[in-house]
Amino acid sequence: MAVTTTDQPEGQRAELEDPLVIAGRRFHSRLILGTGKYASNDEMVETIRAAGAEMVTVAVRRVDLDATNRESILHHLDPAEFFLLPNTAGCYSAEEAVRYSRLGRETGLSDWVKLEVIGDQETLLPDTAQLLEAAETLVAEGFTVLAYTNDDLITALRLQELGVAAVMPLASPIGSGQGLLNELNIRLIKRRLDVPVIVDAGVGTASDASVTMEQGVDGILMNTALAEADRPVLMGHAMRHAVRAGRLAYLAGRMEKREWAVPSSPLEGMLA
């Protein structure tokens, strides 16, 4: 973990060189954002900028031929400013997810895909059997696969064996905002994997992001926590700070918890 504080006169503006590297590509931000459910495209873009995210996910869908506005989200998200990561949201089988992945790649932006295979409509939990099957196919076809999965270590290890570029376990169900329900599982996954671990789904507010990063993971992907905040742009700022806070605290190495108190002021030198 090579962390260097950049040389500068004022401590409070010090920034750290601590990039997120996935498949050889460097990102300065460890926060990846979804682009769904915003009230407007302007709000979405402003929120992403507030959050400082460089990578954002997009979905592959039919052009709506009945709508007057048929414009792609590319009109609002300049690929020169943001790295676009197509997802396979809404796919319920390996076959379907592979089809969407190929369509996403054909836009010509990159061969990256955020692979999701959903197993249940109510919970949107992943179907890990189908996920593994799709991951195998896509890796063979040269895709850079970031795999959305549950918080099961065994599945995460298997995904890594298959050659995915990053494993993306959930904190809690998509859009639930319940935060990190099982810290242990996320820690286990991070400790055992070599590829980056990005926690995807379930973060609801800033402290959820901090506590998640404090487990040592490499990044977080979120969407609803921003899009459904009362003030999404402000929440974007909050999340930018929260992810950095959690990351830095992890690197700084927290104090031990104690059952008893320890004074912060000296015991000696008290007056008689």
CB 189 within 8 A of CB 153: yes
> Nearest approach, Cβ of 116 to other proteins (angstroms)?
10
Does the annotation count 37 as an active-site position? no
**Contact status: 65 vs other proteins (CB under 8 A):** yes
> Nearest approach, Cβ of 86 to other proteins (angstroms)?
7
Stretch that binds a copy of itself, among 71-79, 137-145, 160-168, 201-209 (CB under 8 A): 201-209
CA 97 to chain CA centroid, Å, is: 20
Which of a copy of itself, other proteins, none has residue 39 at its interface (CB below 5 to 8 Å by kind)?
none
d(CA 162, CA 135): 7
Between residues 132 and 227, which has the closer beta carbon with respect to other proteins? 227
**Contact status: 46 vs a copy of itself (CB under 8 A):** yes
Which residues, numbered 245-264, are part of the site for a copy of itself (CB under 8 A)? 245-249, 251-264
d(CA 134, CA 163): 12
**Contact status: 239 vs a copy of itself (CB under 8 A):** yes
- The residues, any chain, with a CB within 8 Å of residue 77's CB and separated by 6 or more, are 35, 45, 48, 56, 58, 84
**Contact status: 47 vs other proteins (CB under 8 A):** no
Stretch that binds a copy of itself, among 104-112, 136-144, 160-168, 217-225 (CB under 8 A): 217-225
**Contact status: 87 vs a copy of itself (CB under 8 A):** yes
Stretch that binds a copy of itself, among 9-17, 72-80, 105-113, 140-148 (CB under 8 A): 9-17
Q: Residue 163 has which token pair?
A: 């050659």
> Nearest approach, Cβ of 31 to a copy of itself (angstroms)?
10
The Cβ of residue 261 has, within 10 Å, a number of other Cβ atoms equal to: 6
The Cβ of residue 164 has, within 10 Å, a number of other Cβ atoms equal to: 27
Give the CA distances from residue 151 to residues 25, 61, 182, in Å, rounded to whole numbers and listed in that order: 25, 28, 8
What spatial distance separates the first Cα and last Cα of the chain, rounded to whole Å?
Answer: 50
Instruction: Produce one character per residue of 57-84: b if its CB has 16 or more CB atoms within 10 Å, e if not.
Output: bbbbeeeeeeeeeeeeeeeebeeeebbb
Chain positions contacting other proteins, by CB under 8 A: 33-38, 41, 44, 57-63, 65, 70-75, 84, 86-87, 89, 99, 102-104, 106-108, 174, 221-224, 227, 263-266, 269, 271-272
The residues assigned a catalytic role are 114
